[in-house]
């Protein structure tokens, strides 16, 4: 008997056995492999009477939904038909041991070049809810983004009332010009970037902008039903308040983790965050139409456009189209800099943490880290004029005063292929604490210059980590939505002013802290997070305000392999793009 025959004979037996098992216990078939193709291609889009040839996935804007169930394996073949290099990041997907499919350019992969293809391959484990995918190179995510919808396993239900319909709501920003020109100009001059021309709800600015009333998102609902809104903030540079006139929302999930439900009329959501809310419609057909409105939350020097994106919540009666000319009701939103509202709102998030969805918060900490996050300056190159905060400087941003320099090759490939020496691509001495401590939220130091380098933190597998993220007042205290790739972390504490390591830990919530992948570091305050370093690979961490990322508010972690085979970073796929 030759080996091939033996092999197929074995698989036949496996197949037959499998068939019987499936017929007898159909509920065992819970996970499948889902195949997607993402063609990155040009698309003509007109908003505010400006037509642009934007970048899209499959000619859709916003991009197509990626739908899967918890437990499913997802294969997305990305084909680059545009002239820019591109990568796609599956924001919030844990990517356990599959860092090659994470997507940040020059961190876990070289970008996909024109006419090249790369297949992202990952399994969704232990997550359900809403996430999103977006381009992860320069500012291409301005138009390359779309929802990731993770349904519960087939035999599982939601821990809340089953919705009648589920509707993604994506916030974005529209630029009348090419966003790449905006960021390139900002980096050249060292000044703040030009602001976008509109915020959008599902790609549409709404009726309050010039030449836009036909581009309004309309949510048509029936009375007395339960809707699940899957809300995603894909805006580049703005945290947003959001409210629907005369309707209370019940927040049930954050960053693909269930939370203890709470009611609110207004939500606030940072770029990089996603949240599911339940909207119960009025029991009877109402005599008005309801506006849903977003508005930026801006602190510090943050530049913003103070315009108002709006959509419409419209009731329709059975088999009838919506009644026209009903009066509009408008929600009231907090002031643009209402940090107290934001702080009170974020404190309401607690993990559901029940017996079905238990959480595992690190109680003991192996490694304590303290990172300052904030703005700073770089020198203006000789014989040029710059438009930074002072006339001979450029804007910069940093973590522990290091402004992270992206290499021109993939960090994770260097790590995988060259180990400790890593071919000189990066250094592993990122400081655990600020090198020059100061009164972080008091008077800033005279010297605000940042260091430029490619330094990483190295963690042993399964280290329990506590990280304090401390905002600084350099060039103005500002809220920073910090996003960690490859992980969800527990937000165990937050406060204003300087973190006090003697006093503050006693108030940490180790019982039901919310578990997220993106947390807003309060303007002029701090946040404490904990996680187990149980995912080997190289993981990017950065402010999800793209201008801050571009200025260097980013760093990366190396998590070493564990002893077991399922605790090791998998070998790179054969189609991994080359630089
Ligand atoms: Cu949503 Cu590194 O990004």
What is the secondary structure of 300-355 as a DSSP string?
TT--------EEEEEE--TTSPPPTTPPEE------TT-HHHHHHHHTT-BB---S
Contact 538, 107 (CB under 8 A): yes
pLDDT in tens, 61-92: 999 999 999 999 999 999 999 999 999 999 99
CA of 104 to the centre of ligand 1 (A): 7
Cis peptide before 62 (omega within 30 of 0): yes
Task: Please provide the average confidence, as pLDDT, over all residues in the chain.
Answer: 93
Contact 96, 488 (CB under 8 A): no
pLDDT above 60 (res 48): yes
CA of 73 to the centre of ligand 1 (A): 21
% the chain with pLDDT above 70: 93
Number of Cβ within 10 Å of residue 187's Cβ equals: 16
All structural domains of the chain, each given as residue ranges with its CATH number in brackets, are: 21-156 (2.60.40.420), 158-353 (2.60.40.420), 367-567 (2.60.40.420)
Number of Cβ within 10 Å of residue 226's Cβ equals: 15
Pocket lining for ligand 1, CB < 6 angstroms? 89, 91, 104, 134, 136, 272, 483, 485, 540, 542, 544
Instruction: Outline where 45-114 has alpha helix (H).
Output: none
Q: Which of 209, 224, 320, 239 is nearest to 281 (CA)?
A: 224
Contact 311, 332 (CB under 8 A): no
**Ligand 1 atom showing the smallest separation from residue 542 Cα:** 2
pLDDT band at residue 19, thresholds of 50, 70 and 90? very low
Contact 159, 258 (CB under 8 A): yes
Number of Cβ within 10 Å of residue 408's Cβ equals: 9
pTM of the shown model: 0.94
CA 285 to CA 473: how far, in whole Å?
A: 50
Question: Which DSSP state fits 204?
Answer: B
CA 342 to CA 527: how far, in whole Å?
A: 13
CA of 77 to the centre of ligand 1 (A): 19
When pLDDT is averaged across residues 84-101 and rounded to a whole number, the result is 98
CA 91 to CA 273: how far, in whole Å?
A: 9
pLDDT in tens, 482-534: 999 999 999 999 999 999 999 999 999 999 999 999 999 999 999 999 999 99
**Ligand 1 atom showing the smallest separation from residue 518 Cα:** 1
CA of 66 to the centre of ligand 1 (A): 17
When pLDDT is averaged across residues 13-23 and rounded to a whole number, the result is 45
The more confident residue out of 264 and 323 is 264
Q: What is the pLDDT of residue 307?
A: 84
Least confident of 11-25, 136-150, 281-295: 11-25
% the chain with pLDDT above 90: 89
Helix (H, G, I), strand (E, B) or coil at 551: helix
Q: What is the pLDDT of residue 121?
A: 98
pLDDT in tens, 215-241: 999 999 999 999 999 999 999 999 999
When pLDDT is averaged across residues 460-489 and rounded to a whole number, the result is 97
Cα–Cα separations (whole angstroms), residue 79 to 88, 89, 119, 131, 132: 11, 14, 9, 22, 19
Contact 141, 85 (CB under 8 A): no
Q: Which of 89, 90, 204, 217 is nearest to 149 (CA)?
A: 90
Q: How many residues does the chain have?
A: 579
CA of 199 to the centre of ligand 1 (A): 19
Q: What is the pLDDT of residue 4?
A: 31
CA of 417 to the centre of ligand 1 (A): 25
pLDDT above 50 (res 17): no
**Ligand 1 atom showing the smallest separation from residue 141 Cα:** 1
Q: What is the pLDDT of residue 364?
A: 97
**Ligand 1 atom showing the smallest separation from residue 92 Cα:** 1
Q: What is the pLDDT of residue 211?
A: 96
pLDDT above 60 (res 12): no
CA 103 to CA 107: how far, in whole Å?
A: 8
Q: What is the pLDDT of residue 14?
A: 43
Least confident of 251-265, 337-351, 416-430: 416-430
pLDDT above 90 (res 309): yes
When pLDDT is averaged across residues 127-140 and rounded to a whole number, the result is 98
Phi, psi of 491 (to 5 degrees): -90, 100
When pLDDT is averaged across residues 1-27 and rounded to a whole number, the result is 41
Q: What is the pLDDT of residue 420?
A: 73
pLDDT above 90 (res 24): no
pLDDT above 70 (res 363): yes
């Amino acid at each position: 008997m030759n080996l091939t025959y033996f092999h197929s004979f074995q698989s036949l037996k496996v197949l037959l056995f499998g068939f019987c098992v499936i017929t007898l216990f159909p509920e065992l078939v819970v996970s499948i492999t889902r195949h997607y193709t993402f063609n990155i291609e040009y698309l003509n889009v007109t908003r505010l009477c400006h037509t642009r040839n934007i970048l899209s996935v499959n000619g859709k804007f916003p991009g197509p939904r990626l739908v899967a169930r918890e437990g499913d394996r997802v294969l997305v073949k990305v084909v680059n038909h545009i002239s820019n290099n591109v990568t796609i990041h599956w924001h919030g997907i844990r990517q356990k041991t599959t860092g090659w499919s994470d997507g940040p350019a020059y961190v876990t992969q070289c970008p996909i070049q024109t006419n090249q293809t790369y297949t992202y391959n990952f399994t969704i484990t232990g997550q359900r809810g809403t996430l999103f995918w977006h381009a992860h190179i320069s500012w291409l995510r301005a138009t390359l983004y779309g929802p990731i919808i993770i349904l519960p396993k087939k035999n599982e239900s939601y821990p809340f009332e089953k919705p009648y319909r589920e509707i993604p709501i994506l916030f974005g920003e529209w630029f009348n010009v090419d966003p790449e020109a905006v960021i390139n100009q900002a980096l050249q001059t060292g000044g703040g970037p030009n602001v976008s021309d509109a915020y959008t709800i599902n790609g549409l600015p709404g009726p309050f902008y010039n030449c836009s009333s036909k581009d309004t998102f309309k949510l048509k609902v029936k009375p007395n039903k339960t809707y699940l809104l899957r809300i995603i903030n894909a805006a580049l540079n703005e945290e947003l308040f959001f409210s629907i006139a005369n309707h209370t929302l019940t927040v049930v999930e954050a960053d693909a983790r269930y939370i203890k439900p709470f009611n609110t009329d207004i939500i606030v959501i940072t770029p990089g965050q996603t949240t599911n809310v339940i909207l119960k419609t009025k029991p009877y057909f109402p005599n008005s139409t309801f506006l849903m409105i977003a508005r930026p939350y801006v602190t510090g020097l943050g530049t913003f456009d103070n315009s108002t994106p709006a959509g419409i919540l419209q009731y329709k009666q059975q088999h009838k189209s919506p009644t026209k000319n009903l009066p509009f009701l408008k929600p009231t939103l907090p002031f643009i800099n209402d940090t107290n509202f934001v702080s009170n709102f974020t404190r309401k998030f607690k993990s559901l943490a029940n017996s079905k969805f238990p959480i595992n918060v690190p109680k003991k900490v192996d490694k304590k880290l303290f990172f300052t996050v904030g703005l700073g300056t770089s020198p203006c190159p000789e014989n040029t004029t710059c438009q930074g905060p002072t006339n001979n400087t450029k804007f910069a941003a940093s973590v522990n005063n290091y402004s992270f320099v992206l290499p021109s090759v993939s960090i994770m490939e260097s790590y995988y292929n060259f180990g400790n020496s890593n071919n000189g691509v990066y250094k592993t001495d990122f400081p655990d604490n600020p090198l020059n401590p100061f009164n972080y939220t008091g008077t800033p130091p005279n010297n605000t210059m940042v260091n430029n380098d490619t330094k990483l933190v190295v963690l042993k597998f399964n280290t329990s980590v506590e990280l304090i993220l401390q905002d600084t007042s350099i060039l103005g205290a500002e809220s920073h939505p910090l996003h960690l790739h490859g992980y969800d972390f527990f937000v165990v504490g937050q406060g204003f002013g300087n973190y006090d390591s003697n006093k503050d830990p006693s108030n940490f919530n180790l019982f039901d802290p919310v578990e997220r992948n993106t947390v807003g570091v309060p303007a002029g305050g701090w946040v404490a997070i904990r996680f187990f370093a149980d995912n080997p690979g190289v993981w990017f961490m950065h402010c999800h305000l793209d201008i801050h990322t571009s200025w260097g508010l980013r760093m990366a972690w190396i998590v070493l392999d564990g002893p077991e085979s399922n605790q090791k970073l998998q070998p790179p796929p054969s189609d991994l793009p080359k630089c």
